[in-house]
A and B are shown apart, each in its own frame.
Chain A
Amino acid sequence: MDQQLLSLLIAVPVVGAGLVALAGPGAVKSMRAIALTASLAVFAVALRIAALFDSSTGEFQFTEQAAWIPQMGVTWSLGLDGISLLLVLLTVFLTPLVVLNSATSIDKRPKGYLVNVLLLESAMLGTLVATDVLVFYVFWELMLVPMFLLIGIWGGRRRVYASMKFVLFTMVGSLPMLVALVWLGLAHAAATGAPSYAMTDLYDLELTRSAQAWCFAAMALSFAIKVPMWPLHTWLPDAHVEAPTGGSVILAGVLLKMGAYGFLRLAMPICPDVLGVAMPIIGALAVVGIIYGALVAMVQPDMKKLVAYSSVSHLGFVMLGLSSLNVVGVEGAVYHMISHGISTGALFLLVGVLYERRHTRLIADFGGLWRQVPLYAFFLLVVTLSSIGLPGLNGFVGEFLILLGAFKASPVLAILACSGVVLGAVYMLWMFQRVMFGEIDKAENREISDLNRRELVILVPLLALIVLMGVYPQPFLKTMEASVELTLERAGITPVETARAEVSR
């Protein structure tokens, strides 16, 4: 069984989805039980993988290979390194919480919702463990469908517009990427006689600078839309506002990270020679995103939209970390991906809690809730602090490493990005103040009940991780270190610090 753990990882949610689909139309409880069991089973598989994972190497582990389209050189090849492992763990951790949350947030067509969530999980995991670029692409596109449906069917009032916008933006990016990926396979055939889409083969491919430039541009467009990087971000606020709570959690928690992951997994190692030119541009756009996202978040009247724009800002930090091209910055970026997934997931869940009770997300509709819902206030406070990067909680570690790494690459960009840290405190604390502080001046708000047991079951693990990742980040950093170093090496960078660290070991 241990040989096919990755296939199992992808298969279990699909099987779960099938079983959910088989359940009788009225058996909502059993559907949820099946879906929860399936998502917990995936979680268990992932934990098994984590337990067997060897963090001393950056090479792909748990590799599987099977012929798929031999004529074209496409193989069903899977594998995972420390970077993908962490994102896999994030995915399998969030999915059961989303399933649990659906019990209260989704009244309409629960079966379809659960099936979509599980299929989406499978597609995300597939994207993360694919080591053949076409397999990667297939899963990449597969992620689109369930997400589209989650927004389009279970979304809010403007769901049709939002879901179409989401699909169109993403598709615009992914078509050039497909062309680039196919071209790479053909280039491999031209160079060696046999086409191959295996990532490790493509990493070794010698490409001309201009070929790399074209490939990088094609992939970067797709990934930048997904992240989303400024100015390609405008699909995100609409998608978030309309998406159901669970959809937002997955979207912000995992889906956005796929863009940054794509840069790390494909664009950077395949096109190393253009990074010297491209990454400063990406870094600059990232900083624009950090500040722009924070400023626009500040003036949002809708809590969900505020969190959505804050994601633009946070993902700007992630991209700034990648653009630094040094181990510190890139590890910070990966760390921030995980911790943003946790914190923003928690934020969306918390906004959802209020929405379920009051059917509004407008900040102005609240105020003075602290006394009414002290437990909720406590959770929102900790998550808010995590989001603004308070040391001791998870957000700080990633942000600090990113800025430290970025400072080496470009002090100016890092200094500008620091203003995002200040603005982050402004918009989050201002929201917190307007929702929680003051007197309750609306009668409806006196009816709001505090967190119930189910919500606590969902939120406590998130809170525990927020603290754990802030106080004891070493296990996470260790898991990714060799992989980040190898990725950078493939991207043509032998970081000085790395070399030095080697000597001292």
Chain B
Amino acid sequence: MVSAESWLRWIPLLPLLGAVLHVAVGYRVGRRATGVLACSVVGVSFLLALRAFSALVSAPEGAVLADDVYRWIAVAGFNIDVRLVLDSLSVVMCLVITGVGFLIHVYSTGYMAHDDDYARFFAYLNLFTSAMLVLVMADNLVLMFVGWEGVGLCSYLLIGFWYTDTAKASAGKKAFVVNRVGDAAFVIGTFLLFWALAPGASDMGGSSLRFADINAAAPGLSPGLVTAAALLLFVGATGKSAQIPLFVWLPDAMAGPTPVSALIHAATMVTAGVYMVARLNGLFEAAPAAMTVIAWVGAITALMAATVGVVQNDIKKVLAYSTVSQLGYMFMALGVGAFGAAVFHVMTHAFFKGLLFLGAGSVIHALHEEQDIRKMGGMRARTPVTWATFAVATLAIAGVPGLAGFFSKDAILAATFAGGHYGLWLIGLAGAALTAFYMTRLLRLVFFDSFRGDRERGEQAHESPRSMTVPLIVLAVLSVAGGYLGVPHALGGHDVLGSFLAPSVSSAAHAGHALHLSMAVEWLLMLVSTTVVLGSMGFAWKLYAAGPDADVVVRGALGRAWQWMASAWRVDEAYERLVVRPIGRGAGFLWKSVDVGLIDSFADGVAMTAGVLAETWRRWNSGSVQHYALSLLAGALALVAAVLLGGGG
């Protein structure tokens, strides 16, 4: 079943090579060469991923391609191999990363065309792609962690790409540090699993902490331990995938160039947590309590972020909270055991959210860095391709029937309902209504009615170059077509993706939950969600015919809640007050009061007392030996003093 394919390593290696070349020679070769190099390494990786995909499709079910690169760390039974594997789950991720990644690289050649630091940008972008590929291709937790931290680093570097702006640099640091909190939990979970599994495969010189081993062993371990490990890993996921309570970095991350927001903070990196849980489905299935936590955290995040999305005025912030919300859906799916549906949504979300960000970038580009949607409007005529593709993506994410988001969101909601989680289903439905609302508001305020910004900007606004619009068109096609990989049986489809993924997430006992619903119930559910979505869209459309002034109506209707939504439920503020400031003050206290005040004064005091005592002792003792020794010491000190004084100038 496992076939050795030593070419797999080139999938992550090529982008890495690209990054190294950008650093080494990027400042000498021209922009064109840099752009071609950056895109082609990712493009070739995509082709290799396609090759792997076709090999897997034609292979018997459950086949795995593997590439043993080398043994990385080996200490007394702890063996970590650099071993890459592709199964149906990771190959789908690889295709998304390299495919959408390639499109965004191409788009970036246009978007960043006038930036001074062209080569540095593509070095980071290539490096990111490489790290993300390591993350999904790793066959063990520690190697995954390499990619996990690697993408975090690139995120840090890219958020703060325009580093002369201190706020942007700070946003990068915030992202890194918040993620580190999650990562600390991630490694503790890893330790727990390592020692729990220690008398396992690695005794025989095999690799430790392999996903396959963890999934296989989890049901046999003590439930408390499995739950603890699962929850710790999930805390890691809440960092990377911006869930409650660690989501606060993602909205700030919008400080990065917009293609970065599309690639890293929408399409790929933020789904790493979802992928990790799906990868470790055996472990999580063995921890039902953890699964419940995941489902609820996901659902509440989905709803909470959607409420915040309603009141944002920065085009990228709307999309950022939308991403947090959509990631919440994915976790809700994971939590109810619908791993396949979660991955399906990862994929469709990569298409339409990547497209939304790229479209937003195109608008921002056209308006010379304007991001406030209140100062937009009427962009439909100025940027027709952007408008058309953006509209497709909006319909897709809102869940309008026939587009990708409809199928994947429906799969999640159906699985939730089928599992008997009616509360979660209801939250999911409410989130869908809000999503439809804020996306319609966004679409209308940006593209329809008349332009509200300053006239000069409006007049100069024009459609982006082809390097930017072609990726938009491709993603728009995918935002529709992508859904047809997962047409449910109720609609006469075959859920092609679901069956392809099944062997990789097969330990999931409820994998086929959606099937347990009767055709009638499934139709009914779809009808309900479609009605809600369309109704919400129509309501928003009508409301925002009045332009941004309609916000006043919303504000009035929400009353007090509006304040909370506008301040993102004050989570940031709470962190600042309860964590950041106390640590800062405590650190200052430790330095000034404990280190200098207490310990040093004590040491100085001891030294001084000793000096006084020695002096007294010397006077009272005229014993020749002591006297000699002390004179020697005094002499030595005098000598040193002389040297010091002599050299003082």
Contact = CB atoms under 8 A, between A and B. Distances in A.
A403 B191 contact: yes
B647 A108 contact: yes
Contacts of B5: none
B75 A391 contact: no
Given A407-B195, A437-B163, A495 B153 contact: no
Contacts of B203: 500-501, 503-504
Contacts of B163: 370, 436-438
A474 B76 contact: no
A269 B180 CA distance: 37
Interface in B583-603: 583-584, 586-588, 590-591, 595-596, 599-600, 603
Interface in A52-104: none
Contact of A425 (B176, B204, B586, B596): B176
Nearest to A148: B640
A142 interface: no
Nearest to B191: A407
Given A401-B75, A473-B72, A292 B590 contact: yes
Nearest to B640: A152
A177 interface: no
Interface stretch (B141-149, B333-341, B501-509): B141-149
B607 A168 contact: yes
A477 B153 CA distance: 27
Given A378-B23, A501-B77, A371 B164 contact: yes
Contacts of B160: 433, 437
B465 interface: no
Nearest to A291: B590
B146 A392 contact: yes
A497 B184 contact: no
A486 interface: no
Given A385-B153, A504-B203, A429 B78 contact: no
Contact of B75 (A331, A378, A439): A331
Give the dominant DSSP class at A's interface: helix
B205 interface: yes
A29 interface: no
Contacts of B534: none
Interface string B597-629: 001100100010000000000000000000000
A194 interface: no
B256 interface: no
A300 interface: yes
Contacts of B183: 421
A327 B153 contact: no
Interface in B154-186: 156, 160, 163-166, 169-170, 173, 176-177, 180-181, 183-184
B191 A159 contact: no
Interface in A446-496: 471-474, 477, 481, 485, 495
A426 interface: yes
Interface in B549-600: 583-584, 586-588, 590-591, 595-596, 599-600
Interface stretch (A244-252, A274-282, A343-351, A412-420): A412-420
Nearest to B164: A439
B643 A153 contact: yes
Given A295-B587, A474-B71, A438 B145 contact: no
B519 interface: no
Given A169-B603, A400-B187, A433-B170, A159 B180 contact: no
A391 B195 contact: no
Interface residues of B, number: 59
Contacts of A495: 76
B10 interface: no
Contacts of A237: 595
A498 B203 CA distance: 10
B588 A299 contact: yes
Contact of A481 (B75, B145, B176): B75
Contacts of A439: 164
A299 B587 contact: yes
Contacts of A109: 647
Given A231-B599, A378-B23, A426-B177, A437 B169 contact: yes
Contact of B599 (A234, A378, A418): A234
A397 B73 contact: yes
A18 interface: no
B198 A299 contact: no
Given A299-B588, A425-B176, A391 B73 contact: no
A168 B75 CA distance: 39
B166 to A, nearest CB: 5
Nearest to A231: B599
B63 interface: no
Contacts of B74: 474, 477
B397 to A, nearest CB: 34
Nearest to A385: B153
Interface in B387-412: none
Interface residues of A, number: 70
Contacts of B72: 471-474
Interface string B619-649: 0000000000000000000001001100100
Contact of A418 (B164, B170, B187, B595): B187
A289 to B, nearest CB: 12
B188 interface: yes
B75 A419 contact: no
B194 interface: yes
Given A331-B75, A404-B78, A414 B191 contact: yes
A215 to B, nearest CB: 24
B354 interface: no
A477 B75 contact: yes
Contacts of A411: 191-192
Given A400-B142, A418-B187, A433-B169, A299 B584 contact: yes
A178 interface: no
Contacts of A497: 76-78, 198
B150 interface: yes
A370 B117 CA distance: 12
Contacts of B70: 472
Interface in A113-172: 149, 152-153, 159-160, 165, 168-169
B181 A422 contact: yes
B644 A327 contact: no
Given A109-B647, A328-B78, A400-B187, A473 B73 contact: yes
Interface in B38-85: 70-78
Nearest to A399: B187
B78 A300 contact: no
Given A160-B644, A328-B75, A474-B71, A425 B584 contact: no
A201 to B, nearest CB: 28
A401 B73 contact: yes
Contacts of B591: 295-296, 299-300
Contact of B644 (A153, A418, A433): A153
B166 A437 contact: yes
A328 B75 CA distance: 6
A160 B648 CA distance: 11
A408 B150 CA distance: 27
A439 B168 CA distance: 12
A205 interface: no
Contacts of A176: none
A298 B180 contact: no
Interface of B: 23, 70-78, 142, 145-146, 149-150, 153, 156, 160, 163-166, 169-170, 173, 176-177, 180-181, 183-184, 187-188, 191-192, 194-195, 198-199, 203-205, 583-584, 586-588, 590-591, 595-596, 599-600, 603, 607, 640, 643-644, 647
CB-CB nearest 4 A-B residue pairs = A437-B169, A327-B76, A295-B587, A407-B191
8 contacts: A165-B607, A298-B584, A368-B164, A391-B149, A421-B180, A437-B163, A472-B72, A473-B72
Given A411-B191, A421-B187, 12 more contacts: A296-B595, A328-B75, A391-B146, A391-B150, A392-B150, A400-B142, A404-B194, A415-B188, A418-B188, A439-B164, A477-B74, A504-B205
